[in-house]
Amino acid sequence: MDVILWEFQARSGQEAEFEQAYGPDGVWAKFFRQGVGFLGTELWRDQERVGRYFTVDRWVTRDAYETFRAARLDEYQAIDRRCEMLTEHETHFGTFASVQTGSAFPAPFDSGVKK
């Protein structure tokens, strides 16, 4: 499994709209669901800095994402233009491959804290 990580700064006052567009049921996730190998999108909100978010797009492989994006580039760019007004800036952190073997998902984190 590969993940694609992005950081965003939502425009002030546009946070709710940003969360709708970039969340797991937003326009981006709906678009990516059309791709073979798409596993899902997660949206994370910074608890200390207002308007700062991370997206985690999960794909079976990087090639699956790149093949889909290349085949649907016009649509990708159209969505990007429509969503541009929701952000002040965005940073692509990269595409990361899991180092886990035998499982697509890592084991749950054990903090050592007893509940």
**Domain CATH for 80:** 3.30.70.100
pLDDT of residue 101: 56
**Residue 107 resides in a domain:** no
Assign residue 3 a region (left: φ > 0; alpha: ψ between -120 and 50; beta: otherwise): beta
**Residue 89 resides in a domain:** yes
Amino acid occupying residue 28: W
- What's the alpha-carbon Rg for the chain, to the nearest Å? 15
Answer yes or no: pTM beyond 0.85.
Answer: no
Tell me the average pLDDT across 18-34: 97
pLDDT of residue 99: 83
DSSP designation for 83: H
Tell me the average pLDDT across 5-32: 97
**Residue 112 resides in a domain:** no
**Residue 66 resides in a domain:** yes
Q: Which domain holds residue 50?
A: 2-97
**Residue 110 resides in a domain:** no
**Residue 109 resides in a domain:** no
> Per-residue confidence at 98, pLDDT binned at 50, 70, 90?
confident
**Residue 50 resides in a domain:** yes
